[in-house]
């Protein structure tokens, strides 16, 4: 997909393909007002409104929206038994870095302003959304904001510098993203900034004091090596970190839970269980 489509086609295809995927029964989706980008609150029946997921979608910083990831965020909220804030942000190349980071920080402030205690918030994202989640936390710390109770990352893109694919990667094993697509998306997102900035490539950041983190990554995907390096650095910084490498899975496979029923749904269940454990400590 990333190899064959223009950016316009990618954006349109992502919206169309994900619109067909159903939400949990009784799920309520409410648009949010007063934000720099689009956003929505998702609540499944019986959800605990004293805790929340703040989710930022993937899409290489150049495509995707709350609508493309609504079904995944709803399933995560259902698995964790809490509400979710499924948030948008500025996309490149129209609005490159740091616009998306500033939007995500505004989204975090918005959730804090809802009266939810920071230790009852799980910040989450897949791929570029994982990148943005980490950059947002760096900005939040710089701004003196309290950090959340936990971080959930799915196939996070933590290093936007140009590098060669790891030895185990092949397009046949994971056709979702390819090196040339990542390079193009990185250039679009960075704009006039350097990819070695820590808020662009969080792998290079000081991770001291980061909250407990769950990283789920596919064993067949291009970003596996980066996830391994990130979790290693996070552990050495003293954080509590859980890394789960899902054998033979492609990039951001929980997003495709409607087709990858076993692996996708199991990963969502695993993440929900982890969130419940983290939130149980804050009661």
3-state helix, strand, coil in the chain (%, to 5): 40, 15, 45
Helices (H), the chain: 7-19, 66-80, 99-113, 128-142, 179-190, 224-236, 261-280
Q: How many CB atoms lie within 10 A of CB 23?
A: 17
Strand (E) or helix (H) holding 252: none
CB 206 within 8 A of CB 198: yes
163 catalytic residue (yes or no):
no
CB 219 within 8 A of CB 274: no
State the catalytic residue, choosing from 40, 69, 221, 257. 221
State the catalytic residue, choosing from 61, 152, 251, 257. 251
CB 180 within 8 A of CB 118: no
Q: How many CB atoms lie within 10 A of CB 172?
A: 7
What letter does residue 9 receive in the DSSP assignment? H
* Residue with token string 């570029």: 128
State the catalytic residue, choosing from 104, 127, 186, 201. 127
CA torsion, ordered 248, 254, 259, 260, to nearest 10 deg: 30
Q: Cα–chain-centroid distance for residue 236?
A: 22
282 catalytic residue (yes or no):
no
Q: How many CB atoms lie within 10 A of CB 85?
A: 26
201 catalytic residue (yes or no):
no
Among candidates 50, 57, 232, 89, which has minimal Cα distance to 224? Answer: 232
User: How far, in Å, CA of 164 to CA of 210, rounded?
Assistant: 28
Rg of the chain in Å (alpha carbons): 17
Just list the catalytic residues. 127, 221, 251
């Amino acid at each position: 997909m990333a190899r064959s489509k223009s950016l316009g086609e990618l954006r349109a295809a992502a919206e169309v393909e994900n619109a067909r995927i159903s939400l949990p029964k009784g799920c309520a989706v409410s648009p949010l007002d007063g934000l720099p980008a689009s956003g929505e609150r998702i609540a499944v029946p019986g959800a605990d409104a004293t805790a929340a997921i703040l989710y930022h979608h993937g899409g290489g910083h150049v495509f995707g929206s709350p609508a493309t990831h609504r079904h995944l965020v709803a399933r995560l909220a259902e698995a964790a038994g809490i509400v979710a804030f499924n948030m948008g942000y500025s996309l490149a190349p129209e609005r490159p870095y740091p616009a998306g980071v500033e939007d995500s920080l505004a989204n975090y402030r918005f959730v804090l302003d809802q009266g939810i205690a920071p230790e009852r918030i799980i910040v989450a994202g897949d791929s570029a959304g994982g990148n943005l989640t980490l950059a947002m936390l760096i900005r939040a710390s710089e701004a003196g904001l309290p950090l959340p109770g936990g971080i959930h990352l799915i196939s996070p893109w933590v290093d936007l510098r140009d590098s060669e694919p790891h030895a185990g990667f092949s397009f046949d094993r994971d056709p979702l993203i390819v090196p040339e697509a990542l390079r193009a998306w990185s250039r679009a997102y960075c704009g006039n900034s350097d990819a070695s900035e820590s808020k662009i490539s969080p792998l290079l950041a000081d991770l001291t004091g980061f909250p407990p983190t769950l990283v789920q990554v596919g064993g067949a995907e291009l970003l596996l090596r980066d996830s391994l390096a990130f979790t290693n650095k996070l552990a050495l910084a003293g954080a509590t970190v859980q890394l789960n490498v899902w054998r033979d899975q492609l990039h951001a496979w929980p997003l495709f839970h409607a087709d990858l029923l076993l692996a996708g749904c199991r990963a969502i269940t695993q993440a929900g269980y982890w969130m419940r454990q983290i939130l149980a400590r804050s009661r």
